[in-house]
Amino acid sequence: MSNLSVEGALASPVAASHEPPVVRFHHSKILALFRAIDSALIVFMLWACLKLFGVEWGNTYAAFAMGAVIIFGFFAESNEVYYLWRGLSMKDLSIRLLLAWVATLLCIVVAIAGIYPFVNIGLLAMSSWLVATPAVMIAMHIGRRIILAKLRANPTEPRRVAIVGATELGLRLINSMAKMPWLGYKVIGFYDDRAPGNDVGRRLIGNNIEVKGGLEMLYQDAHDGKLDIVFVTLPMRAELRTHSVIDRLADTTVSPYLIPDVFSFDLLHSRLTCLQGIPALSIYDSPLVDNGWAKRLEDLVFGMGILMLLALPMLIVALGVKLTSPGPVFFKQTRYGMGGEKIKVWKFRSMTVCEDGANVAQATRSDPRITPYGNFLRRTSLDELPQLFNVISGSMSLVGPRPHAVAHNEFYRGQIKGYMLRHKVKPGITGLAQVNGFRGETETLDKMSGRIAYDLEYIRNWSVILDIKILWKTIFKGFVNSNAY
C-alpha cells in the first residue's frame, strides 16, 4: 500500500504530476472525415466522367487522380480549409475550396499539355472532371454545415454557454457564435459584477448587453448544472480575478475556456503556434513565414513575364535618359528591404543629381533637380521599371510597401507608431497605398501615416489574390497620378 498524506484544505493532483501540463490543439473529427471524403471524391469524379464519356480507366488517369489528390491536399491545407478554428462562413469556405481547386486545375492542365502529344487523353472527360469536381465538393461541404446546424440546433441538447466579462471581446465572441449555428451553442448571457463605465476595460453598456448576474450567480448556476461551457473574456490586467474564476469553476463540471484579450494589441498577421504543448501567439509577424515560397513564385512568374513584355520600351526609355541629360542611365539608392536590411533599388535617373546619403530631400512639385524628360518618367512611373531587376534578384517584390530612402525611414520611425513593421515583407514596385492615392511626396505627417496604415493593412490581409488585385488596379490607377512628381 502506498503512503498518502494530505495537508491543508485541498490537495492538488495537477501539482503532483511528474509531467508538465501541455495544451493540445482541438481537431474536428468531422473535418478530418471530410478531408478523406474530398480525396475520395476527386478520384470518384474522374472515374465517373471517364465512364460518362466512354473512356477506359488506365494508369495515366490513375496518376492524374493521385496527383490531384496530393496537390489539392497541399493547397487546401495552405488555405486552412479543414480547420474548425477558422470559423469560415459558407461563402469564405466555398472561396477557399475553389481557390485550392483552381491551383490544382492549373497544375493538371500543365501536366496534360506536357504529355498530350505523346499520350492519348480524353480531353472532354478531363475537362468535365475539372469543372464538375469543385461544384460537387462545395455543395457537399455546404450540405454538411446545413445538416449539422439543424442537428445541433435541437433545443433538447444545446451547449449552454456563459461569458465572464461583458467586454468588447465577449461581445465579439457572441457575434461569432451567432454566425456559426452548426456549433450548437446557446448563449445564456454575460456574468460580470464590475461597475459599468466608458473605460474599455470596464463593463460594456448597451441594450444588446444582457448581464445575467455577478460572479457568485455564475458559480451557483455552474454548480446547479445550468451551464456547460464558460468563456472568460476579462481584460488581461484582471489576472487575479481570472485565476479566481478558474479556481472556483474547478468545483463544478463546466468546461471553462480562457480567451486572452490579445486584440488589445495592434495585431499584424498574428499566428498561433505550439512548442511542445506550449501555446504561443505572435503579435507582429510576417505573412511570408509560411508563404514565402508562394510570394517568390508569384514574383518570378509575373516579374519575368512583365520584363519580357517591357524589355523594348525599357531600352527606349534608357536611350532617352542618356540623350536628354548628362549622367548615368540608372540611379541606385539605398533603401530598407525586408527585415530592415539595406538594399540597392534601381531606377531610371530622372534628376540631375544622384543623392544617396543621410540627408535626402523628397522630390517636390516643380523640383529644379528633375529633368524635363525625368518629369515625364516620374509622372508615368516609367522611372520605376528597372526595379523589375530587384524583383527577379529577390530583394524586392512586385507588390508591397514602397521603399523609402534610409534618411526618411530613420526620421519617420520615431514619428509614426509601428512604422518599421512595414519591413516585415519585401518592398514592392506598387502597393495597396499607391492604388489608393498615396503616391508621391508625403510633406505632412498625416499623409505618411495614411500610407503606413495601408501598408500595414496589406501585411495583415496578404494573399496572392490581393496581390493580383493590386497589380490589376495599378494598370489603371498606379502609373499616372497627379501626386507623382
pLDDT attached to residue 320: 92
Query: Which residues in 251-371 belong to E strands, given as ranges?
Result: 255-258, 272-275, 278-281, 330-336, 342-348
- Quick one: 243 and 322 in the same domain? no
Q: Give residue 2's pLDDT.
A: 47
- In terms of domains, do 450 and 311 share one? yes
Task: Collect all residues with Cβ–Cβ distance below 8 Å to 71 and sequence separation of at least 6.
Answer: 103, 104, 107, 108
3-state DSSP assignment of residue 406: helix
- From 105, 124, 152, the end of a domain falls on 152
Q: What angle do CA 446, 435, 310 make, to 5 degrees?
A: 135
Domain termination residue (choose one: 152, 169, 186): 152
Residues 341 and 375 occupy one common structural domain: yes
Residues in the chain: 485
Structural domain contains residue 7: no
Q: Do 346 and 460 belong together in one domain? A: yes
pLDDT of residue 469: 92
Asked if residue 145 and residue 169 are part of one domain, the reply reads: no
Q: Are residues 360 and 457 in the same domain?
A: yes
Residue spans of alpha helices (H) in 325-371: none
**In the listed set 98, 122, 152, which residue is the last one of a domain according to the structure?**
152
- Does one domain contain both 356 and 419? yes
DSSP strand pairing (159-164 vs 229-232): parallel
Task: Tell me phi and psi for residue 192, to 5 degrees.
Answer: -160, 125
Domain match, 352 and 466 both: yes
Q: Based on the domain organization, do 302 and 236 belong to the same domain? A: no
**Per the structure block, which three cell numbers stand in for 59?**
494508369
**Same domain for 256 and 108:** no
Write out residues in the chain with pLDDT < 70, as ranges: 1-28, 84-88, 152-157, 182, 197-203, 205-208, 353-367, 440-443, 478-485
State whether 222 and 338 are in the same domain.
no
Domain of residue 474 covers 288-478
Distance CA 333, CA 326 (A): 18
Q: What pLDDT score does 45 carry?
A: 96
> Is 35 in the same domain as 89?
yes
| Number of structural domains found in the chain | 3
Q: What pLDDT is attached to residue 353?
A: 65
* 67-109 pLDDT tens trace: 999 999 998 888 778 876 556 678 888 888 999 999 999 999 9
Residue 354 has a pLDDT of 65
For residue 243, give the CATH number of its domain: 3.40.50.720
